[in-house]
Structure 1
Amino acid sequence: MLDTGGDRVEQAVAGAMALLRTTTERDWDGVRAGRLEWNCQRTGMHIASCLMAYAGQLAGRAQSAWVPFEITLDEGTDHDGLLDVVEAAAALLVAAVRTAPREARAFHPFPFRSADRDGFAAMSVAEVLLHTHDIAEGLGLAYEPPAELAEYVLTRIFPHVQPGPGHWRTLLWATGRGELPGRAPVTEWRWSNNIVIPADRLTLQGVTPAAAADLLTGGDGGFDWLEGGPFQGTLEAASMMLKAYEAGTHRPEFGLFALVRRGDGRAIGGMGFHGPPDEDSTAEVGYDLVEGARGNGYATEALRTLCEWALARDDVRALFATIEPDNAPSQKVIARAGFTQVNEYVDDGGLRAYELRG
């Protein structure tokens, strides 16, 4: 079972406070925080503001915009007082993460307009790690957080970033704060929360690299699976997605989605793409359902939804699927979704090929 993130936020904040508490007699106001335009005091305030804002978003389940509030410091608050605010904001965020239901999502603009509890936790850990680094760099101090914290961030909100030689070095490079051999410097960046595509009775929830790795080691990937799940096809898709992530070719919007019922929050199958569109703007789709969920039209509903979403994009002109000739239920699903058979056999295995064009 995946960690929902509260412990990671606490670990990140504890490490940051252990360092920053030793610097509060220094001049934070007159020192620039690393490569930022802000001074160290403004950067510390930004950490507190982000943690408080994320706590408010998640606790209030804001759906369309930021909750309209901000925090300010009382006049005369010193640097120790500022760090007290950081710790208090972190405690509120941790409480929001730990009490949020599995299916809870709240507004965040980048890039798909929402985040779940794990996303808010990962963004918070990123804010703490990166801006503590900025302050430490400005003050001429050494700072390197535990590698597992950087990995936690990378595998949840940087699915588009290929793992590099060291999680912390990779996170610094991915956010324009360092260099990696063989990679161009990063000048613009954004993290990426998992995408969710709504259907009628289901939601198609993007699987992160962390969730895929957990599934492949016998975990639930952060989902509440119907008995018998995840099915073998979903595990194979998770393996394919994880290999693409490790190779640096994964695009999260063209990865694996868990099919989650709205009524009870149970994951009943997997659906997604075998990779991003090719040079002909064609993407291959695949899917499976847990046996106990079959025969209810879920696969057809999800496939129609995914196809409509994909074909509305500028970079997709056609979708492709292959099915074994004796798999009549899957052939019915693909036909109901609008696909047509384009040839009898696509390889020596005798798979039938189907296509849907926009």
Structure 2
Amino acid sequence: MKALERVGLTALRRIDPETAHGLALKALNAGLGPRGGAVTSDRLRTHLAGMELPNPVGLAAGFDKNATALHALAKTGFGFLEVGAATPRPQPGNPKPRLFRLSQDGAAINRFGFNNDGMEAIAERLAKRPKGTVIGLNLGANKDSTDKAQDFATVLARCGAEVDFATVNVSSPNTEKLRDLQGKAALAALLDGVMQARAALTNPIPVFLKIAPDLTVDEIAEVAEVANAARIAGIIATNTTLDRDGLHGPHRAEAGGLSGQPLFEKSTRVLAQLSTLTDLPIIGVGGVGSAEQAYQKIRAGASAVQLYTALVYSGLSLVGNIAKGLDQLLARDGFANVAEAVRSGRSDWL
């Protein structure tokens, strides 16, 4: 980690987390982040649902909710970016404070509640996106919506032309009754509406489904069954957890979704199990903070990974470090590319 980045992170951790996040985005846009572009090599280049990625290390949704830092983020080393979640109408989200650091655990708890500027403002920013960067949009539903399932299709219809992929997010724990949409019948109906909206796009894009890590074995099987039938492009496993086992510090009991290091094992086990139930590509998320952890996700069944919370503690230089380290791990084990390593260590997680 560079000295300037270390000083900046230390300063940011001394102030309110949400304020610090806003300042971090401003610093990025002022040119204070990494500027080398995507790290790549023959081993790292990844084919994912028809998309060509320079490397399989992506930015998870939530970091750039409103697509305000796309040009700066495109230079930080990521192989792809996901912004949002976007809802049809702007909404403020839940009352503050709603973001808490758990520094001792390398974790965070948030209960944002899909705070965002709404699909119209976000679509306008996406229309000015940097060229040559794979960018996706996380689709959400308004808290007060009477038809949350329709909201996902509405956002896709408005923003789909401006992105390379979209993610149906029914797994955030911070919008009341949202996770109810993961049930078999509700999820099938929701995905049917989204896929109809996708079909109406001039250039139909890949649609992913983001699931919770708190599903039972039977619920994971149902999700896989519905996803296979809906012909979506892939699954993102997983969102944040409601689990609080083994946490430390004064904020450990705060309501919301837990992300970061404590989520790594739980999310990776869900990922591995899911990979036995579907041939759809899976993006592994949850506790990725090193090249070794990214590699474990891939060997458990992920075709690509995403991170977010680790950036709070290690800064954006982590992105390039993970990509370069992953390249070395693949070479060490004799893999010519990422695809060869996918599922190669799945049995360790089952």
Q: Same fold (TM over 0.5)?
A: no
- Relative contact order, CA 8 A, sep 6+: which one is greater? 2
Greater Rg over alpha carbons, structure: 1
Q: Name the TM-score, length of structure 1 as normaliser.
A: 0.23
